Each structure stands twice: as C-alpha cells, then as structure tokens.
Structure 1
C-alpha cells in the first residue's frame, strides 16, 4: 500500500503534468528492461531494445547496481536537455551521498562512477552521452505517440476533475484507490517475487501440499504501507507509458512530490510504420497526429489546426482549401464536440478553439 497524506494546502496544489517529461519516461523504460517477469507484454519490446541499445548507454545500468537509482536523477524538465541540466545542477554533496547510498556494499565501483563522485566533468559527459544514446534508441522513435497518449490521459483526468471532483479524478489515476480524510490510499502492485510466491502457495493449496512450503510461506504478512507526507509541497501527477509496476515516487525536500504512475493500454508504445515516401505511415503529409486525424477526419483536423487565433468562416475556408459551406459544416461539427466556439458580431462570424480544443491539438512542444 501507498498512503499519500494531504494537508488542506496540498488539496489546492495537485496538478497534472501538462506534457510528458523525457527523463522520467526514459528511466521508467530502462527499469522495464530489467523486469523479465513482464515478458508476456514487454518481451518483444525488450528483445528489440536489447539488440539495438548502443554500448554508450551502458553507464546508465551502472548507476543502479542494486536496483535503486540515485535520487539526483529524479527530475522533470520539458526536454531531455532540460532534464539533464537539472540533473547536472544537483548539489555536489547530494550527488556524492546518493552514489554512496546506491553503492553501499556493492563492488567493484566503475571508474567513471568514482570520477562522478568527485565531480569530474568528463564523468558528467559520460552520463550525458549515455542518456542521449538511450533516449535516441528507446524514446525518440515513439515520442510523438507518447505525447498523444499523454494528452489523452491529461484530458481524461481534467474532465473527471471538472465533472466529479478531485477524489474521482485521483481514482481514475489508480483504480481501487480512494481519497478519504486527507489520505490517498493506493493499493500497490505486488513485486515479482511476491507474485511468484503467492502463485506457488496457491498451487500448493490446490494440490493439498501447502505444508511442504512451510507455514511462513502461507502466512506471509503484507509489507507495511509506505507513508508519503506532502506537508504543503503539493503533488504532481505524471503518467508513464513504459512502466507496469507500482507507482514511482519522487519525494525530495523542498520540492513538490512527483508521482509517476503506469498508464496506457498495458503494452509499450511501438514505433509507427513508415509510409512509402519515408513519412510516418499513420501521419498525414503535414504531420498531424494519426489518432486525432482518424477520430476527427483529416479536414476537420486541418480546420482545428488553423484556429491558432479566432478566424472567420471565409478565412478558415481559404486556409484549408475548402468551400465556405464545407468550412461552416466542419465548424458546426467541431462546435458540437466542444472543441471550438462560434460568436457572431453583426454579419461577422468568428470561430475560436476552446481550452479542450487546444488541449486536443497539443502545444507543439517537442523534446
């Protein structure tokens, strides 16, 4: 179990990350590479990446010798460069203490990690190159899809919060969780070892052989709940589409707590196929998101894209290459979907995106 304790001040400081963050998403993906118990859904993805991951990325594995990463890697940032700059700005004493923590009892320590412990610039360069190499192989091919998935998750949360309130919105993040008396209780997923042992006990019981496993195995107690106290710092919700385990919590002093939770359809995003002319197969010639074009249609997507500012029907028609009557019909459909509003001043009609329409189109931000 995970228990997150809110103060009254924290209730007003819950926010959803407006866009995906490359560094946490990359770290979640690298954690999944080391989780073979997810072979059914992630096996093909893992095999492909292990075959293609360049040697320059290997230092990242050396930063997690016991399965726990140093906390100075816990950053957000709107791009990979922003994220690495935040990592690089960590206090030297914090970097040293975290490296000492993760390497406690671990030998040998790689030379470049020893150099990083001493603040060596070349060691930071090694880490930068490792992150860049891993990003280009693991995330860059699927980043447009991750952005689309994040927008869908953002929209789902925002609409639930607006219609039903914070408690219901948090329940969409973690089905089975509940917010009561200022505590968000989240039932965490069992570890791979716990799931395996539970399966063994169940099979033994079915076969009438539970005694062979010993009473300790049958009566294993659930681990104690992890208690996270926000204490006025607030909470940032960040979905990840490369992680299937329990929530990943960034809980650092004087920073908002960041809760990274598994989202999406349960399988890792796959690179989009290439069309015959080298463009992405599920994207149009202007690069519109394939899922949005499939849902709205190419022309309506172009109409919505053209509304970077309020425009008349005639202006929309001219910008999208369609007739005034067709532009008016598409605007009516988008208005019915809540994606645009239409106002009339005298004989002039102006169309404008709603906040939902802007959210659906995205911000245009790239890592």
Structure 2
C-alpha cells in the first residue's frame, strides 16, 4: 500500500519545487548508494574511488546511516541552505532532539554503543559532526557543481511542465514508477511497505530534486516548515553526468610530459592539495600548497591538461577536483 499525500487548495498553492537539492539529504542518499551494491555499471568506479578516499573518521556517520530504513533525522535537517549552513544546524541541534531521534531509530534497529551518551557529550557530538563534514567533503563536494547543473536542468523542465499543464502534470510525472497523481491525492509507493495518510494541512509539499535518489522515493512527513518529497533529477543519465563529467582523457602517450609535471615539487604540492580538498577554489588551493595564486593557477592548468584534475566554473567561481586517475596515481606513489 502507498503513502497517500492529501492536498487541499491551500496545499496546491504552497507546493514548491526546490531549485537545488538539500546537501545533507543528498549526502544521506549518496551514503546509501555507497553501502548498497546496486547499479554496478554506473557506480562501481565511484564506490572504489570513495573507498580509497574515506578515512577512519567516516565510520561514525557510516554506522548511523543504514543501507535502507530509518536513521537519526537530525543528521539531515530539511529546508534550504548551503552544506556549511546545514552543518551548522547539525552542530547546534538541541540535546532533546538527539535523544528523540536516537530513540526512534533504536525502536527499529540496534545502534552503536557510543550513541548512548551522544546527547550529553559535546566532544562526542563534535566528532560526529566532523565525521559528517569529512564524508560530505569526499562524497559530494567534488561533484557539487555537476550535481547542481543536473538539478537546475531538471527544475527548468518541471517549470515548463507547470506552464504547459499545471501542477497536476508536474505531480503526475514527478516519479512515474513510484508515484501516481489522482487529484487531490498523490500516492507514493514505498518499497519498505510503509503505508498511511499524510495530510499536508495547508503547508504544501516541497519537491526536492535528487541526483543520487534515482530509485525509490524519500518522503519527509515531519519536516518543517513543510513536508518534502525527493524525486529523481535527470534519471540515470543525470547521475552519470554528475559522477563522470566531461574531462580531459588520460593521455597514455603523454606519460613523459606527465612525469615532468609531477617532477616539480610545487606541482606535486598543488595536486596533493586538490586531492585533500576536492572542490577547492584557486585561492584555497594556493593557500594549501603554499604558493602564489598565479602559480597555483598555472600548475592547475598543467595538471588539468594531463588529465589529473578537472576545473569547473559557475559564474566567477572556479573549483578544482581530482580525477580518478589522479587518486590512483597518487595512491600508487604513496604506496
């Protein structure tokens, strides 16, 4: 049986389409994808890459987010905001909320023993937040420009549906495999077998695009200020575009020039800085590598031409991330 979402006239008027995914909600879906070995063709290379890049401090968050089922809701606060803004909300979560969310999870599955004192131990909570930051920086930050590009294109398509057919067409096509619009009710089939009725009570529904959420729907019935429904953005092609954006191919014939690039101490420092801080700006890259911004930019160009980093631009903002070849090359050199 599905979850039946009931709309009133006020709900239809207040239903919105989010322009971008919620970074921490998207992170939770990405963690589930990391832990569940589905879509081997699309995700196997990404999983191998992440397994190499995640450090032991990731374990706290990975233990709290299962492959499926309930998790502590305070780890992914709903609503809008940047990853850093949402992370600040997690760090400031009230102790009563931590206890309540952990109790909800404990009613369905066992929790690690370290969670017992989490609400009353600020240092332990700080370590958990650091773990969340680390996992986000490895799993999502390197791909965030590509993720937002996919979701912005999806939102534009939904806006065209809204203009041509109204909100009913948007709801009818939001996720056809798992949802069915029978006005004024949206039926959302949950593979877990969860069923029930969600009355929006004038709050409306927030439709949130998700690149990693290509399969089963995710619904947040208790989110404030309004419930949300994650829907797939761009489908499987959207996920592929986010995880494997167009970049310079690995140049086997250019091994000599690659060797000359990595033979310089500064270039190696720049590459290491990019690997350690995926998604960093040129200014951040220069600071981390201990070189002038102009020098960092010059070496970033060489590394990009060698196929070791990719650079994305959104307006005036530039960010640099390592390619999988760079991670493999650095790991081999370190080994």
Same fold judged by TM-score > 0.5? yes
Q: Are 2:127 and 1:126 equivalent residues in the alignment?
A: yes
* Residue of structure 2 equivalent to 1:239: 209
Task: Return the offset for 1:241.
Answer: 0.7
**Deviation digits for residues 248-272 of structure 1, max 9, x if unmatched?**
1112265300111222231452254
Q: Are 2:142 and 1:137 equivalent residues in the alignment?
A: no
CA distance in 1, matches of 2:306, 2:5: 43
**Deviation digits for residues 188-247 of structure 1, max 9, x if unmatched?**
5x46xxxxxxxxxxxxxxxxxxxxxxxxxxxxxxx4634322111221111111123311
* Residue of structure 1 equivalent to 2:105: 102
Larger helix fraction of residues: 2
Task: Return the offset for 1:13.
Answer: 0.7
CA distance in 2, matches of 1:105, 1:183: 29
Gaps of 5+ in 1: 192-222, 290-304, 306-362
* Residue of structure 1 equivalent to 2:4: 3
In structure 2, relative to structure 1, the CA distance for the partners of 1:63 and 1:158 (3 Å cut) is same
* Residue of structure 2 equivalent to 1:270: 243
Q: Are 2:42 and 1:48 equivalent residues in the alignment?
A: no
Equivalent pair of 1:2/1:226 in contact (CA under 8 Å): yes
CA distance in 1, matches of 2:211, 2:47: 14
CA distance in 1, matches of 2:9, 2:105: 35
In structure 2, relative to structure 1, the CA distance for the partners of 1:280 and 1:173 (3 Å cut) is farther
In structure 2, relative to structure 1, the CA distance for the partners of 1:254 and 1:41 (3 Å cut) is closer
* Residue of structure 1 equivalent to 2:16: 15
Equivalent pair of 2:145/2:312 in contact (CA under 8 Å): no
Equivalent pair of 2:119/2:125 in contact (CA under 8 Å): no
* Residue of structure 2 equivalent to 1:62: 63
**Deviation digits for residues 326-358 of structure 1, max 9, x if unmatched?**
xxxxxxxxxxxxxxxxxxxxxxxxxxxxxxxxx
In structure 2, relative to structure 1, the CA distance for the partners of 1:43 and 1:13 (3 Å cut) is same
Task: Return the offset for 1:18.
Answer: 2.1
Superposed counterparts of 1:186-265, under 5 Å: 186-188=188-190, 190=191, 223=193, 225-252=195-222, 255-265=225-235
* Residue of structure 1 equivalent to 2:95: 92
In structure 2, relative to structure 1, the CA distance for the partners of 1:252 and 1:186 (3 Å cut) is closer
RMSD, aligned α-carbons:
3.1
Matched pairs, number:
258
* Residue of structure 2 equivalent to 1:163: 164
Task: Return the offset for 1:365.
Answer: 12
CA distance in 1, matches of 2:311, 2:47: 32
Provide the secondary structure at the position in 1 that maps to 2:140: helix
Q: Identify the range of structure 1 (253-262 vs 142-151) with the bigger mean alpha-carbon deviation.
A: 253-262
* Structure ID, larger Rg: 1
Equivalent pair of 1:23/1:77 in contact (CA under 8 Å): no
Equivalent pair of 2:87/2:133 in contact (CA under 8 Å): no
Provide the secondary structure at the position in 1 that maps to 2:208: strand
TM-score after normalising by structure 2:
0.67
CA distance in 2, matches of 1:172, 1:264: 12
In structure 2, relative to structure 1, the CA distance for the partners of 1:365 and 1:258 (3 Å cut) is farther
**Deviation digits for residues 272-314 of structure 1, max 9, x if unmatched?**
43585345999xx99546xxxxxxxxxxxxxxx7xxxxxxxxx
Provide the secondary structure at the position in 2 that maps to 1:19: coil
